[in-house]
Amino acid sequence: MAAPTLEVRNLRTHFFTRAGVVKAVDDVSFTVERGKVLGLVGESGSGKTVTGFSIIGLVDPPGRIVGGQILFQGRDLATATEAEMRGLRGNRIAMIFQDPMMTLNPVLRIDTQMIETVLAHKKVSHEEARQRARDTLGMVGIPSPDERLKSYPHQFSGGMRQRVAIAIALLHEPDLIVADEPTTALDVTIQGQILAEVQKLAQTTGTSLIWITHDLSVVAGLADDIAVMYAGRVVEHGAVSDVLDRPLHPYTAGLIGSVPSRNKRGEPLRQIPGMTPSLLSLPPGCAFRSRCPRAAEACLAEPEIRETLPGRQVRCFRPMTEAAEQAA
Amino acid sequence: MAVYLVRRLMQALLVVLAMSMIVFVGVYAIGDPVEILISPDADQLERERAIRALGLDLPLWQQYLVFLTNALQGDLGRSFVFNEPALKLILQRMPATLELAFGAMFLSILIGLPLGLYAGLRPNSPASKTIMAGSILGFSLPTFWVGLMLIMVFAVQLGWLPSTGRGETCSVLGFIGLQPCNAGLQWSWLTGDGLAHMVMPAVNLALFKISLVIRLTRAGVRETMLMDYVKFARAKGLSASRVTFVHVFKNILIPVVTVVGLELGSTIAFSVVTESVFAWPGMGKLIIDSINVLDRPVIVAYLMIIVLMFITINLVVDLTYSLLDPRVRLESKGT
- Give the type of residue at A257: G
Shortest distance between the Cα of B231 and any Cα of chain A, in A, equals 8
Q: What does A14-36 look like in DSSP terms, one character per residue?
A: EEEETTEEEEEEEEEEEEE-TT-
Mean pLDDT of B32-37: 72
pLDDT value at position A327? 44
> Residues A184, A163: one domain?
no
Q: Are residue A271 and residue A289 in the same domain, yes or no?
A: yes
pTM over 0.90: no
- CA B85 to CA A15: how far, in whole Å? 71
Length of chain A: 328
Q: Which 3 state secondary structure label does DSSP give A126?
A: helix
Strand-pair partners of A28: A11
Domain that holds residue A157: 100-171
Residues A151 and A40 in one domain: no
Give yes or no: residues A83 and A119 share one domain.
Answer: no
In chain A, residues with a C-beta closer than 8 Å to the C-beta of B326 are 106-107, 109, 152, 154
Q: What is the pLDDT of residue B118?
A: 92
Whether the per-residue pLDDT at B167 is higher than 80: the answer is no
Q: What is the arithmetic mean of pLDDT over B104-125?
A: 90
- Dump the DSSP string for A176-236: EEEEESTTTTS-HHHHHHHHHHHHHHHHHH--EEEEEES-HHHHHHH-SEEEEEETTEEEE
Looking at the fold, whether A87 and A209 belong to one and the same domain comes out as yes
Cβ contact, residue pair A106, B231, below 8 Å? no
**Alpha carbon distance B313, B309 (integer Å):** 6
In a domain, A195, yes or no: no
**Contact between B238 and A90 using a beta-carbon 8 Å cutoff:** yes
Tell me, what CATH number does B181's domain have?
1.10.3720.10
d(CA A140, CA A137): 5
Contact between A249 and A316 (Cβ < 8 Å): yes
Q: What are phi and psi of A111, to 5 degrees?
A: -65, -40
In the predicted structure, residue B111 carries a pLDDT above the cut 90:
yes
Pair A301, A153 in one domain:
no
**With an 8 Å Cβ cutoff, are B237 and A106 in contact?**
no
pLDDT class of B107 with cuts at 50, 70, 90: very high
Quick check: is B68 in a domain? no
Give pLDDT, residue A326.
46
ipTM of the complex: 0.84
| pLDDT for the residue B214 | 93
Chain A residues with CB within 8 Å of chain B CB: 56, 58, 86-91, 94-95, 97-99, 102-109, 113, 116-117, 120-121, 152, 154, 165, 168
Of B227, B237, B326, the CB nearest to A120: B237
Smallest CA–CA distance, residue A91 to chain B, in Å, is 7
Mean per-residue pLDDT of chain B: 83
Count of structural domains within chain B:
1
Contacts of A108 in chain B (CB under 8 A): 246-247, 250
Within a domain: residue B305? yes
Closest CB from A89, A105, A154 relative to B235: A89
For residue B235, which residues of chain A lie inside 8 Å, CB to CB?
Answer: 56, 58, 89-90, 94-95, 97
pLDDT given for residue B177 in this prediction: 66
Partner residue facing B236 (CB), from A87, A89, A109? A89
- Name residue A76's beta-bridge partners: A71
SS3 content of chain A, % helix, strand, coil (to 5): 40, 25, 35
- The answer to whether residue A197 is domain-embedded is no
Cβ separation of B251 and A86 shorter than 8 Å? no
In this structure, are residues A299 and A318 in contact, taking their beta carbons and an 8 Å threshold? yes
pLDDT at B308 over 70: yes
Is A321 inside any structural domain?
A: yes
Judge whether A194 lies within some domain.
no
Q: What is the CATH number of the domain that holds A15?
A: 3.40.50.300
Same domain, A139 and A248: no
Q: Is residue A199 part of a domain?
A: no
Cβ separation A97–B242 shorter than 8 A:
no
The reported pLDDT for the residue numbered B330 is 55
DSSP state of A261: G
Nearest CA in chain B to A119: B238
A164 and A272 in a single domain? The answer is no
Give the C-alpha separation, B112 to B3, whole Å. 36
B142 preceded by a cis bond (ω within 30 of 0): no
Would you call A89 and B327 a contact, using CB atoms and an 8 Å cutoff? Answer: no
Contact B234 A120 (CB under 8 A): no
Q: What are phi and psi of B260, to 5 degrees?
A: -60, -40
B26, part of any domain: no
Report the 3 state secondary structure along A49-90.
HHHHHHHHCCCCCCEEEEEEEEEECCEEHHHCCHHHHHHHEC
Which residues partner with A94 through β-bridges? Answer: A177
pLDDT at B27: 82
3-state DSSP of chain B: CHHHHHHHHHHHHHHHHHHHHHHHHHHHHHCCHHHHHCCCCCCHHHHHHHHHHHCCCCCHHHHHHHHHHHHHCCCCCECCCCCCEHHHHHHHHHHHHHHHHHHHHHHHHHHHHHHHHHHHHCCCCHHHHHHHHHHHHHHHCCHHHHHHHHHHHHHHHCCCCCCCCCCCCECHHHHHCCCCCCCCCCECCCCHHHHHHHHHHHHHHHHHHHHHHHHHHHHHHHHHHCCHHHHHHHHCCCCHHHHHHHHHHHHHHHHHHHHHHHHHHHHHHCCHHHHHHCCCCCHHHHHHHHHHCCCHHHHHHHHHHHHHHHHHHHHHHHHHHHHHCCCCCCCCCCC
Give the H/E segment covering residue A7.
strand A6-17
Residue A41's contacts (CB-CB under 8 Å, 6 or more residues apart) are: A48, A213, A214, A216, A219, A226, A227, A228, A229, A255
Q: How many CB atoms lie within 10 A of CB A259?
A: 15
SS3 A40: strand
CB B95 within 8 A of CB B175: no
The per-residue pLDDT for B334 is 40
Q: Is residue B309 part of a domain?
A: yes
Out of A94, A104, A120, the one facing B229 most closely (by C-beta) is A104
Under 8 Å between Cβ of B194 and B168: yes
Quick one: pLDDT at residue A107?
86
Quote the number of domains for chain A.
2
Residue A238 lies in a domain: yes
Regarding whether A285 and A183 lie in a shared domain, the answer is yes
Q: Is A117 exposed, middle or buried, given 0-12, 13-18 or 19+ CB atoms closer than 10 A?
A: buried
By residue count, chain B amounts to 335
Residue B55 lies in a domain: no
Cβ contact B136:B231 at 8 Å: no
**Chain B closest-CA separation from residue A165 CA (Å):** 9
For residue B99, the enclosing domain spans 86-324
In a domain, B20, yes or no: no
**pLDDT tens digits, chain A, 328 residues: what are they?**
567 888 888 888 888 888 888 888 888 888 888 888 888 988 887 888 889 888 888 888 888 888 888 888 888 888 888 888 888 888 888 898 888 888 888 888 888 888 888 888 888 888 888 888 888 888 878 888 888 888 888 888 888 888 888 888 888 888 888 988 888 777 778 788 888 888 887 778 788 888 898 888 888 888 888 988 888 888 888 888 888 888 888 888 888 877 776 666 777 777 777 777 777 777 777 777 778 777 777 777 777 777 777 778 888 777 776 544 444 4
Q: Give domain status of residue B148, yes or no.
A: yes
Contacts with B213 (C-beta within 8 Å, 6 or more apart), sequence order: B108, B109, B111, B112, B113, B116, B256, B259, B260
Q: Answer yes or no: do B237 and A103 touch at CB < 8 A.
A: no
**A74 & A123 share domain:** no
Nearest-Cα distance to chain B for A278, in Å, is 23
* Chain B residues with beta carbon closer than 8 angstroms to that of A105: 229, 233, 247, 250-251
Per the model's pLDDT, the better-predicted residue between A185 and B127 turns out to be B127
Q: What is the dihedral of CA B178, B183, B186, B187, to 10 degrees?
A: 20
Mutate to test the interface with A, among B224, B229, B250 (most CBs of A within 10 A): B229
- State residue A301's pLDDT score: 74
* pLDDT tens for each residue of B200-259: 888 988 899 999 999 999 999 988 888 888 888 888 888 888 888 888 888 888 888 888
**Same domain for A105 and A82:** no
pLDDT at residue B211, rounded to an integer: 92
The verdict on residue B70 lying in a domain is: no
Sheet with A176-180, strands from edge to edge, namely A93-96, A176-180, A208-213, A37-41, A225-230, A233-239, A312-314, A306-309
Same domain, A36 and A54: yes
Cβ-Cβ contacts under 8 Å, A107 against chain B: 250-251, 324-326
